[in-house]
Amino acid sequence: MEVDVSGLLGLIVLILDIYAIVGTVQSGASTGNKVLWIVIILLMPVIGFVLWFLLGPKG
C-alpha cells in the first residue's frame, strides 16, 4: 500500500492555514490587521503560517 506524501502534506498545510485564519479572526487585532494576515496566509500558505505563528496577533 503506497501513501501519497504530497497529498498528505497538502492536507496538513490546509489544516494549519485554517487554524491560523480562525485564530486571526478570533484575535483582538484591528480589522485591517486581520485582513492583512488572512491575505498573507492565503497567498503564501506555508510561509504565511510560519510568519503568523511567530509574529501574528495573539489572544
- Give the N- to C-terminal CA distance of the chain in Å, as an integer: 43
Q: Is residue 7 assigned to a domain? A: no
Q: How many domains does the chain have?
A: 1
Q: Is residue 11 assigned to a domain? A: no
Q: Is residue 51 assigned to a domain? A: yes
Q: Is residue 12 assigned to a domain? A: no
Q: Is residue 59 assigned to a domain? A: yes
Q: Is residue 3 assigned to a domain? A: no
pLDDT by residue for the chain (59 residues), tens digit each? 566 778 889 999 999 999 999 999 999 999 999 999 999 999 999 999 999 999 988 76
Q: Is residue 6 assigned to a domain? A: no
The residue range of the domain holding 26 is 18-59
pTM of the model as a whole? 0.86
pLDDT at residue number 6: 80
pLDDT at residue number 57: 84
Q: Is residue 54 assigned to a domain? A: yes
